[in-house]
Amino acid sequence: MPSQLENSPQYKDLTTSNNGTNVRPVLKPSSFFFTDGAYGQSVNQKFGAISSLQYRGTTKMTCTGKIYTICQGQIFVQPQAGNSNKVNIILKPFSQPINEIPIKFVIYRGLNKSDFVSGSGDNQIVAGSATSGIGFCQYIWSEFNKFYQGQNPQDIPAFFAKFIGFPKDNDSSQQLSDLIDSYFYKIVNYIDPEQQEEDPATAYELPLVPAGTELGMINGEIGIDIILNNGDFFIPTDSGFFNLSFARATETLLDVTTSNEFEKKLIKDASTLFLDLASFYGLHTNDYGKLFVAGQSSPLTSPEDIFAKLNGFLTKDVIYFYIQSNRQRYYNFYGNYNYSETIDFDLKIGNTFNDLLETNFGTMGWPVQAYVPEESEIVLQLTTDNYSGAGMYVKTGVLSDDTPQEEGFIREENLLQSALDTAVDLNYTKPITFKIQQISDIPVSGIIELIYEGKQIYIPEEDYEENLFELKDIDDVFGLLNARSFVQKTRELELPSVMDSRLQLINFPNNQKANDISTVQTKKVEDVIQFSDDQLLERVTYETLLAGIKRNTSLFLTSSSPLLDSTTSSSVHYGTERNNFYQPEAPYYLKTVIFTDSSQTVTGLTLQITNGSIATKKLLGITTEENQRLTAVIEDNDLVNPKIFFRGLLEESDNPSVSPENISYRAYILNIVGETKSNDGNLKLYSSGEDIIVYSIDGFVFTSDIYSKYTPAINIPSNNAYLNFGPWQQQE
């Protein structure tokens, strides 16, 4: 008889393998179908690689019917370049249709301008009314009328088209180089604060509409982009890919024809941010999906009914592999996964282990593997050097029961082949097998997302290329040095945080002197401490946020579950009357340890947990001035994708130092590893001139002495990420 647990809804909503072990949550997609009419594709309209030089990120279709928003979100209307009768609609999801696959934007390309905008010149207003026009306009007109209900009609402004983002002719307030995100995160500015005269460039808030909102009728070609979200931040020195020029284009066509070798890599890396509309809807066919359709009161839930809606897509049977590897780049971005110096194959793939084809990852040289399986499974092997830290995480996809795993993590003997088996090729991992959804023997389009690090990387030093440094686990974690948040400040003394949403693999030590493998995201937080009446210390903290972990089952404690971190962004409001400083969220808190390094007294910090568990977080704390010295290295050397490298102060020894107080610690000099534009994007190690030294006592917290010295005393851990205290107090 099934147990009460096995009959529970929570248990039934999990996938399992290996006789009930490795329980994982399933995807629960819920979205609205994009049209109520007929649609189809030609070969020249389908998503994906066109040639070795071009990649289409837009799913294009010929459609006759109404178009709908696939999820709840904010709407931003832009003119389409080259066609004055068309507009593009940028939908920024408010409620994600698939939580595990965060979407940044959905862009509808080629809707009718007359459905959204009426009038011309300075008199352009939103088309329709609360009772006429397309569903979108009726909805926002109704909201507009509610907002001004009861007011004198003479005081109600015109509902200008600029309030939905559509610019006036020759509107200088919108530049093609403007990043799309900046319009969703903007705040109102005032030309004259005393008179509350608003700057017209910011005097509106983009409307939020429900899923299934009608966007007009189409009788011809339409394109839809689904763009994945890496985080709501930007790099000031980067020209920005997702700008208004991109938003207004008729389609997304990535082209490397005139690019140099490094530019080609970056453009190809951008292809991994786009999702085929067919695979998006194909993910709904897993028995847990809900697909809402116009004119029907209940959603489609059966895989067969949902799959039938995909008949117009030529790619309805294509499985797309997305593999993120070292330093959050696509698999073999650095060429380090080639089989050997003379053989550039990096992948084996097929329907069964016996029919694997040795090839290169990707499609026509683009780093998204498009594969049409002939069976209900796909098998692949990736190259490896068999180092002990190799690991894989299956972010999206269903592993076969005969592929050993640990809740989506694959490592050690589950990943690496045994050297004792002379019949295997140790340059490849063990076969990894994925289940593929099939309906009437036809594979259903979907995606498989992997995070894989299977080879060690060694980095040459800037001026001494013969000096090679191994990238350690911690050296692949902390980026975001020159990243800025899209969240705009409402006042001068406000410090927003920045978060990188991409998952990374990292190991945490356990109490059996082994490692637990995990996935983390990273966050950068700025704060200010007033440590005397007239002295301030500005600081920067980098923090990992635990997303998932495979712990040794013998170590499992119920108290471990709350250690999964919140991934919401926020900002610190600083005022001279109160200290606002960073603290990790409960149950974590920081404790001071004072020790002597040579003849210098050093203040260090350790990461404590109220319930006594082992930490699953890493922190780096430095001052803003120290951080600026690191960003100067990035700017001076024009580096891309920079990350912090922890260079051991005692390079000749792997052992920790021991202070006269019998405190065991390690000291590191912070360097920068980045991709050099002048050298085809190859990695190099750079120093900052004057050494920036950080100390770690526990292997979890790495801080400079001045950062730790002025960390205020905290006696009681708080649930708040940011604590407000009065005058600063030196820790004892």
Per residue, the 3-state secondary structure of 2-45, as one string, reads CCHHHHCHHHHCEEEECCCEEEEECCCCEEECCECCEEECCHHH
DSSP of 206-263: PPEE-TT-EEEEEEEEEEEEEEE---SEE-TTS--SSBHHHHHSSS-EEE-TT--HHH
d(CA 283, CA 304): 12
d(CA 114, CA 277): 26
Q: For 501-520, b where at least 16 C-beta lie within 10 A, e where not — what string?
A: bbbbbbbbeeeeeebbbbbb
Q: Please give the pLDDT value at position 729.
A: 43
**Chain centroid offset of residue 10 CA:** 27
Q: Please give the pLDDT value at position 562.
A: 36
DSSP of 198-222: E-TTT---PPEE-TT-EEEEEEEEE
Query: In the numeric block, which tokens belong to residue 542?
Result: 């980098």
Ranges under pLDDT 50 in the chain:
1-12, 16-20, 190, 195, 555-562, 576, 717-732
Q: For 63-72, b where at least 16 C-beta lie within 10 A, e where not — what string?
A: bebbbbbbbb
Q: Name every residue whose Cβ is closer than 8 Å to that of residue 512 and which is 6 or more positions away in sequence.
A: 552, 554, 555
Q: Name every residue whose Cβ is closer than 8 Å to that of residue 643 and which is 6 or more positions away in sequence.
A: 327, 475, 476, 477, 478, 479, 481, 672, 673, 674
d(CA 571, CA 582): 10
Q: Name every residue whose Cβ is closer than 8 Å to that of residue 533 and which is 6 or more positions away in sequence.
A: none
User: What distances in angstroms separate CA 9 from CA 5, 6, 25, 97, 629, one per listed residue?
Assistant: 9, 8, 12, 21, 53
Q: Please give the pLDDT value at position 386.
A: 95
- pTM here is 0.91
Residue 400: enclosing H or E segment and its boundaries? none
Count the Cβ atoms, other than its own, within 10 Å of residue 158.
Answer: 11
d(CA 511, CA 612): 12
For 558, the 3-state DSSP assignment is: helix
Q: Are strands 59-68 and 190-192 parallel, antiparallel or unpaired?
A: unpaired
Beta-ladder partners of 433: 379
User: What distances in angstroms separate CA 290 from CA 38, 166, 210, 283, 431, one per listed residue?
Assistant: 20, 33, 16, 10, 33
Q: Please give the pLDDT value at position 702.
A: 98
Q: For 357-389, b where at least 16 C-beta lie within 10 A, e where not — what string?
A: eeebbbbeebbbbbbebeeebbbbbbbbebeee
**What is the maximal distance between C-alpha atoms in the chain?**
87
The answer to whether 276 and 57 have CB atoms below 8 angstroms apart is: no
Beta-ladder partners of 357: 349
The answer to whether 116 and 125 have CB atoms below 8 angstroms apart is: no
**Helix %, strand %, coil % for the chain, to 5?**
15, 40, 45
For 457, the 3-state DSSP assignment is: coil
The answer to whether 164 and 128 have CB atoms below 8 angstroms apart is: no
